[in-house]
Structure 1
Amino acid sequence: MAAAVARDVGCLPTGQQLIGVTYMKVSRRGFIKSTVVAAGAVAAPHVWLPVSSEAWGATLKKGEPIKVGLLFSLTGSLAVPEEDSTLVMQYAIDEINKAGGIAGSPIQPVIVDAKSDFAVYSEKAKELILRDKVIAIFGCYTSASRKAILPTVMANNHLLYYPTCYEGAECTQNTICTGPLANQHSKDLIPFMVQNFGKKVFFVGSNYVWPKESNKNAKVWLQQAGGELLGEEYIPLGSSEFGPVLNKIREAKPSFIFSTVVGASDIAFHKQFKQEGFKVDSMPIASLTTGEIETRAMGNEFGAGHFLSAPYFQALDNPTNKKFVENFLASKYGKNGVTHYNMEETYTSAYVFKYGLEAAAAKLGIENVTPRAIRDNSGGIKVGADVSPEGPIWIDEQNFNCWLVPKIGQCQADGSFKIVKQAAEHVAPDPYSIYPNLGTCTKDGLKAPDGKIRKNVI
């Protein structure tokens, strides 16, 4: 088994070990207090490295380790969801390596702490590609961090696996996404909540691109469902002060709250909701982000009764998921005690990578595989029900997002989620579902109605 490579994670005093990586252990209380830089900022890297495919390009050789970058936050306000992404990726890599690796080669993760800082994401993405010569990067949780690294990924014709939900309105030729788009979660969640709780809605989100763009989609679904938007508020990413927002909600008296609050703020929001005397049975929160890990961090009593839309829940009743949950939680990676949608989407991305690389190697030979070749051979790749805990999923042959089955769960008193609605069949990913006039995302770029194609639209 190839050893993990730890880079730039710091020599920090608490000394928590993560497969040879020393990093600061962030307590759930400390997590709530931590903050990040302004979400809209995408700063230039602190270091400059020359672009040269001969000097820096990733090369693969049969039997030698295949290096991949794990670019998630292990410290800061994004550590709770992103630490688990790092852990489950290591679990998946171990699993793949024990089964023989990929084309006879083991996977070797290069683990980096992005520190919940968008400038660090950008800097470390460049180093992973140009210095460490990884063949692909798995990383990011927020769209702001994704957009911070995409210019580097595209400039080097590299490959990013983005394993979580996002807003769409993006069409690049260097990404593969395994989480849901807006048409695969809020499109079902909004009418479900209107039908069951009432038409009046209040939107609350973190102040960056994903919540704002997601809410543009949600407004379309709300109008179609005959609902009424009473208010829309955004708070700084990492903020834990919701008093003014909750006062506005109290005055507006919505039927339910639609939340796109993330990270530490999400936990603080749910806790203050209950502490301020709001009742979940008369005004529940419907979220796109509050899963098992957030509920565990805030305390089950603060999550109980609220709703989440996601393709995966730990409670899914199928043999593959039961095996995944049992084996992961029993492993050295399962220390946080739950599985959740973001982890599972990260886990399946490891197998999408495996199958895509195998397809490219079979066609080109392992020595000729490039990051772009893996992407170009991943359209239509399927992760079957014997591997994917959420059930079979596959990568769209044109836009390289995921076909999946949307689900809505309600949090129970023990922190688990009961599935209250599930789509009858797989739903195709549509990055431009509310922007049909802009065109269609194809494997070659965004194809406008007039037939013109624009590459790498972000």
Structure 2
Amino acid sequence: MEKRRKIPVGLLYSTTGPYAPMGQDGLDGALLAFEEANAEAGQGAIEFVPVISNPMGDLARYPSLARRLLLERGCRQLMGTITSAARKEVIPTIEKHDGLLWYTCPHEGFETNENVIYVGACPNQHLLPLLRYILPRHEPRLFLLGSNYIWGWEINRIARTLTLAAGGKILGERYLGLGEVTPRHLLVEILRKRPAIILNNLIGTSCHAFLRAFDELRQLDPLLAADCRVVSCDLVESELAETGPAAAGCIAALSHLASLDTKPNQALARRLAVRFGPRRTPSAYVVGAYIAAWGLIRAVRSSGSDATGSVKQALHDGPQATPLGPLHISARDNYAALPCYIGEATTAGTYRRLAGGDELIVGDPYLADINLAAFAATFRPVAPRTPTLRIVS
């Protein structure tokens, strides 16, 4: 009987550390895909062998762990890294040894690389749809928050440019170190400046701490609660579970919502619950890793090889089938075409779909197709709210 040919795949996700829930999402999504693929394959087929490595959120550990996966464990294909800082740390190692990194998280764009497949959304697939939704509905007075690394810097830079072009105002821009959980000084400034929109690009425990503290502030100040919305491009359901009801009302732009009422999504939710327990839902981070893994599976099967060039050629030749629909990877820049859903967080830790998701948005990592004048013309900003007086006799 012919034995299966085994192909190792490195899974480089931090499942402990300051952004552990996002890392666990990615790991579980990838594992489920490989387990499903191996279960359906017959004798003589390819067996995918996940090789798990946990950098624990420590930036210094990523390059050495990536090198070990490539050289000692024989992995040509790596999936993972959550933050853009970690992605940029491992890319030189990936390039040197001609591996292929599948990056599955939202990011700031302004990057292309022959050794990276970008299945996570870039700004024209998350931030632009978010601003197009939120700015016509609220007074465009923004406060920008971010974790103090390239994701926060770049997303806030783009948001500033677009908001000012549209006639809005930026009332402040502040950062917290990754893992910092003392946002009191931010709340003091927010209370003083009273923005209508807070763009929250904080990551992991910093984000959770801010949302809890801001919720306490809203309960003390009903006017702030009524007038100010927190919006985000990366706040997924596993993090709503961490923050509890404090995140209710937040608006997010994501490539997938766990609450989508579609048969493929509901089927995936059931399989995730059986495999990992009821708390594991198909968030954008789970689904990003899941469809990336299936894209890799299909590309290896069709090409017969896990070599970087063979896998990329298969991806560029046409869309790869996944249980959630075809995965389209551009031959121009290795970016996936993705939907964008606008959702509002509920007290139950899910998202209520508000808009979006009806079409795939082709990745435009350098925003080359964005015209600022055209962007500004797509909405009419809400007029400032004017206090009214009641005369009581």
Q: Residues 139 and 163 of structure 1 are in contact (CA less than 8 Å); yes or no, is this contact kept in structure 2? A: yes
Aligned-residue Cα RMSD (Å) equals: 2.0
Distance across 2 between alignment mates of 1:119 and 1:435? 36
Question: Are positions 1:275 and 2:220 aligned together?
Answer: no
Q: How many angstroms does 1:272 deviate by? A: 0.6
State the secondary structure of the residue aligned to 2:303.
helix
SS of match in other structure, 2:361: coil
Aligned to 2:296: 353
Instruction: From the superposition, tell whether residues 255 and 408 of structure 1 become closer, same or farther in structure 2 (CA, over 3 Å).
Output: same
- 1:113 deviates by 1.0
Q: Report the secondary structure of 1:309's partner residue.
A: strand
1:205-225, Cα deviation, whole Å (9 max, x unpaired): 000011111122222332343
Q: Aligned partner of 1:318: which letter?
A: T
State the partner residue of 2:384. Answer: none
Quote the residue 1:322 is aligned against: 266
3-state secondary structure, aligned to 2:137: helix
In the other structure, the counterpart of 2:323 is 387
CA deviation map 1:239-269 (0-9, x unaligned):
0011101111111111110011111111111
Instruction: State the alpha-carbon separation in 2 of the partners of residues 422 and 260 from structure 1.
Output: 21
Query: Which of residues 281, 288, 293 in structure 2 aligns to 1:338?
Result: 281
In 2, Cα distance between the equivalents of 1:158 and 1:306?
38
Alignment match of 1:304 (pick from 218, 224, 248):
248
Equivalent position of 2:374 in the other structure? none
Q: What is the alpha-carbon distance in structure 2 between the residues aligned to residue 141 and residue 184 of structure 1?
A: 18
Distance 1:220 1:295, change over 3 A: same
When residues 435 and 150 of structure 1 are mapped into structure 2, their CA distance, relative to the original with a 3 A threshold, is: farther
Which residue of structure 2 aligns with residue 35 of structure 1?
none
Deviation track 1:318-357 (CA, whole Å, cap 9, x = no partner) reads: 11001000111122x2363433111110100011101221
Q: Does 1:118 align with 2:118?
A: no
> Does 2:340 correspond to 1:406?
yes
Counterpart of 1:17 in structure 2 is: none
Q: Among 80, 88, 98, which residue is 1:147 paired with?
A: 88
Match of 2:151 in 1: 210
Return the offset for 1:413.
Answer: 2.1
Deviation, structure 1 residue 92: 1.2
Of stretches 306-315 and 100-109 in structure 1, the one that deviates more from structure 2 is 100-109
| Counterparts of 2:240 and 2:227, CA distance in 1 | 20
For residues 248 and 382 of structure 1, do their structure 2 counterparts lie closer, same or farther at Cα, with a shift above 3 Å needed?
same
Q: Are the aligned partners of 2:15 and 2:23 in contact in 1 as well (CA < 8 Å)? A: yes
Residue identity matched to 1:387: P
Q: Secondary structure of the equivalent of 2:261?
A: coil
Alignment deviations for residues 93-121 of structure 1 (CA, whole Å, 9 cap, x no partner) = 11111110798111101111111101111
Task: Give distance in 1, aligned partners of 2:212 and 2:127.
Answer: 23
Residues 180 and 103 from structure 1, CA distance in 2 versus in 1: closer, same or farther, beyond 3 angstroms?
farther
Secondary structure at the aligned position of 1:403 is classed as coil
Matched residue, 1:99: 40
Where do 4+ consecutive residues of structure 1 move more than 6 Å?
A: none
Q: Is residue 118–residue 148 contact of structure 1 (8 Å, CA) maintained in 2?
A: yes
* TM-score normalised over the length of structure 1: 0.76
| Aligned residue type for 1:317 | D
The Cα offsets for residues 267-322 of structure 1, whole Å up to 9 and x where unpaired, read as: 111001012235544211001121211010111x1111111101100111111001
Q: Name the SS of the counterpart of 2:95 in structure 1.
A: helix
Letter in 2 for 1:426: L
The residue type equivalent to 2:314 in the other structure is: N
State the TM-score, normalized to the length of structure 2.
Answer: 0.88
Bigger mean CA offset, 61-70 vs 403-412 = 61-70
Q: Is the partner of 1:106 in helix, strand or coil?
A: strand
- CA distance, structure 2, for counterparts of residue 104 and residue 166 of structure 1: 35
Residue 70 of structure 1 aligns with which residue? 11
Is the counterpart of residue 261 in structure 1 residue 202 in structure 2?
A: yes
1:421 aligned counterpart, secondary structure: strand
Gaps spanning 5+ residues in structure 2: where? 371-393
Alignment check: 8 A CA contact 1:380 1:396 kept: no
Kept after mapping to 2: 8 A contact 1:291/1:340: yes
Which residue identity is paired with 1:78?
Y
Distance 1:281 1:394, change over 3 A: farther
Give the corresponding residue for 1:90: 31
> 2: distance between equivalents of 1:292 and 1:75?
18
Taking the aligned partners of 1:102 and 1:435, their CA distance within structure 2 comes to 48
- If asked which structure has higher relative contact order (CA below 8 Å, sep 6+), I would say 2
One-letter amino acid of the counterpart of residue 299, structure 2: G
Amino acid corresponding to residue 331 of structure 2 in structure 1: E
Give the Cα–Cα distance (whole angstroms) in 1 for the partners of residues 217 and 319 of structure 2: 46
Structure 1 SS opposite 2:15: coil
Aligned to 2:171: 230
Equivalence for 2:377 = none
CA spacing shift, 1:383–1:360, aligned 2, 3 Å = closer
State whether structure 2 residue 72 is matched by structure 1 residue 135: no
Q: What secondary structure sits across from 1:285 in the alignment? A: strand
Secondary structure at 2:144 match in 1: strand
Count of matched residue positions in the alignment of Structure 1 and Structure 2: 365
Q: Does residue 1:286 correspond to 2:220, yes or no? A: no
Q: Distance in 2 between matches of 1:297 and 1:107?
A: 32
Give the aligned partner of residue 377 of structure 1: 314
- CA deviation vs aligned residue, 1:24-57 (integer Å, no higher than 9, x gap): xxxxxxxxxxxxxxxxxxxxxxxxxxxxxxxxxx
Q: Which amino acid is 2:265 matched to?
A: N
Deviation string 1:73-97 (CA, Å, 9 cap, x unpaired) is 1211121110221122111111111
Residue type matched to 1:63 in 2?
R
Q: Structure 1 vs Structure 2: percent identity of aligned residues?
A: 26
Q: Distance in 2 between matches of 1:379 and 1:171?
A: 15
Check conservation: 1:159, 1:372, Cα contact below 8 A.
no
State the 1:424 CA deviation.
4.3
Tell whether the 8 Å contact from 2:258 to 2:265 is kept in structure 1 after alignment. yes
Contact 1:191 1:221 in 2 (8 A): no
